[in-house]
Amino acid sequence: MIAVLALRSLRHRRATAALTVLSIALSVFLLLAIERLREEAREGFAATVSGTDLIVGARTSGVHLLLATVFHVGEAGSGLRWSSYRALAGHPSVAWTVPLTLGDSHRGFRVVGTTEGFFEHYRYGRAVALAISSGRIFAGPREAVLGAETARRLGYAPGSNLVLAHGSGDDGFMPHADRPFRVSGILAPTGTPVDRTVLVSLEDIDALHAPERIAQSDDPLAAALMAAEPTAEASRTITAFLVGLRTRTSALSMQRAVNTFPDEPLTAILPAATLQEVWALVGVAEQALRAVSIMAVVVGLAGMLVALLTGIAERRREMAILRSVGARPSQVFALVAGEAAALTLTGVIVGAVVLHVALPLARPWLASRIGLVVGGVWPSVLEWQLMALVFVAGSLVGILPAWRLYRHSVADGLSVRT
């Protein structure tokens, strides 16, 4: 009975009701969307590298090593000797290693010197391997493989030529203009920093830098030797290397072995743990996002409260009529509180439905532009909880006007005095 009356009354005031539902729906949409993106961003971040058990570089902080090698943020530091790399790569618990050399750039995109092993072993997300979207990986000298974003932003295709520069920054300095590269292939988008790289072979990096070393060398003999053998592995240094272990369980002992490596001071990090550490640093931004979305809900519910409170004066008469035909004050209360609950519920449902309709439509765009892989259509447990929370909050908001009308309907008698 009261439910029927509540629905009829809402229908009667459908313009206001629709606005209220709309504002709640928008705020719920925002809340759920932000929560979803936040969740995906966190998961995506945590899965920037997966399947790599250790990252090893010169002695530095773990966060610094991770930022430099995985995110290409900050300077790579001194590097480690090839001999050290060889020694550790031969360790019995190591399954594979991939060396990385950083320090060059092309028009703002970082150049990573590495081996074919990178394409074979690098994993991101849920153990997803890199895929070539066009062309092939580098095979001959001075061939480069581009990350998806690098290629898209610079408009390169397989066969394009590019000139690398030493150092990072927009144009770097000391361009290696005498040794142009040719694009051999382009990677499919990954949503990780790999998208913004230029991948070349270690040998090509060595060749680029050989003339510098010759120029820098005071010893004419050494310079002559280096000039004669520019790719000498013995003199090579690399920035870091990725390690895959035979068994996960040996990660900690392997880390200890690296950290106590006798020949030079090295650092090994467990990428997953260090990624967590870095994410904690951006946790503030995460909280700010959540605060904004909660604020949106508060605003939405405040709108409903205002609408219900301004309706009170008008509805006192209606309640007096219902009282005269036998309604109890508690039914008056239920009528108003029920309306608030119905409005909130509708708003929550509309907001959630719109989100889950919009999500599949936005998915390709999110994946290609922001690198967010937004999965699952069905709401997560957290999302159900948030929706329940909004519903409860909205129902609580209804208590104030319901209580006021209840008080009126007890005190007014049957004639409303204004």
Partner 1 sequence: MPTSRSIESDRETLAFSRGSRVDQSLPDATPVIDLSGLRFAWDPGAAPILVIESLRIDAGERVFLQGASGSGKSTLLALLAGVVVAQGGQVRVLGTDLADLSPAARDRFRADHTGMIFQMFNLVPYLSVLENVLLPCDFSPRRRARAEARGGSPRAEALRLLASLGLDGPQLLARQPAQLSVGQQQRVAAARALVGAPELVIADEPTSALDADRRDAFLDLLFRECARESTTLLLVSHDAALAPRFDRRIAFADINATAVRSTAA
Ligand X SMILES: Nc1ncnc2c1ncn2[C@@H]1O[C@H](COP(=O)(O)OP(=O)(O)O)[C@@H](O)[C@H]1O
369 binds partner 1 (CB under 8 A): no
Query: Binding of ligand X at residue 415 (CB under 6 A)?
Result: yes
Does residue 415 belong to the site contacting partner 1 (CB under 8 A)?
Answer: yes
Tokens 């690398």 correspond to 164
Distance between CA atoms of 293 and 298, rounded to whole angstroms?
9
Using CB under 8 A as the binding rule, whether residue 1 contacts partner 1 is answered as yes
46 φ/ψ angles, rounded to the nearest 5 degrees:
-65, -20
Least distance between partner 1 and beta carbon 300 (Å): 24
Stretch that binds ligand X, among 50-58, 359-367, 374-382, 408-416 (CB under 6 A): 408-416
* Residues 313-342 within binding reach of partner 1 (CB under 8 A): 317-318, 320-330
Binding flag, residue 417, ligand X (CB under 6 A): yes
Binding of ligand X at residue 404 (CB under 6 A)? no
> Is 395 in contact with 337 (CB distance < 8 Å)?
yes
Closest contact distance (angstroms) between CB of 8 and partner 1 is: 5
Q: Does 248 bind partner 1 (CB under 8 A)?
A: no
Q: How far is the CB of 332 from ligand X (least distance, A)?
A: 15
In angstroms, what is the minimal distance from the CB of 321 to ligand X? 15
Distance CA 214, CA 227 (A): 7
Q: Does 74 bind ligand X (CB under 6 A)?
A: no
How many CA atoms within 13 Å lie on the side-chain side of 165? Answer: 14
Task: Please identify, among the stretches 186-194, 292-300, 312-320, 410-418, the one whose residues bind ligand X according to the rule CB under 6 A.
Answer: 410-418
412 makes contact with ligand X (CB under 6 A): yes
CB closer to ligand X out of 11 and 417 = 417
Rounded-to-integer distance, Cα 261 and Cα 266, Å: 7
Which residue is it, tokens 């932003």? Answer: 153
Q: Candidates 42-50, 203-211, 385-393, 407-415 — which segment interacts with ligand X by CB under 6 A? A: 407-415
Question: Positive or negative CA dihedral for 114, 118, 124, 129?
Answer: positive
Can you read off the two tokens belonging to residue 394? Answer: 């909205």
Please say whether the beta carbons of 66 and 55 come within 8 A: yes
Residue 404: CB minimum distance to ligand X, A = 15
Residue 411 makes contact with ligand X by CB under 6 A: yes
Between the alpha carbon of residue 136 and those of residues 105, 118, 182, 286, the distances in Å are 21, 14, 12, 39
Amino acid occupying residue 348:
V
Residues 6+ apart with CB under 8 A from 13: 311
Binding region for ligand X (CB under 6 A): 411-413, 415, 417
Binding region for partner 1 (CB under 8 A): 1, 5, 8-9, 11-13, 317-318, 320-330, 413-416
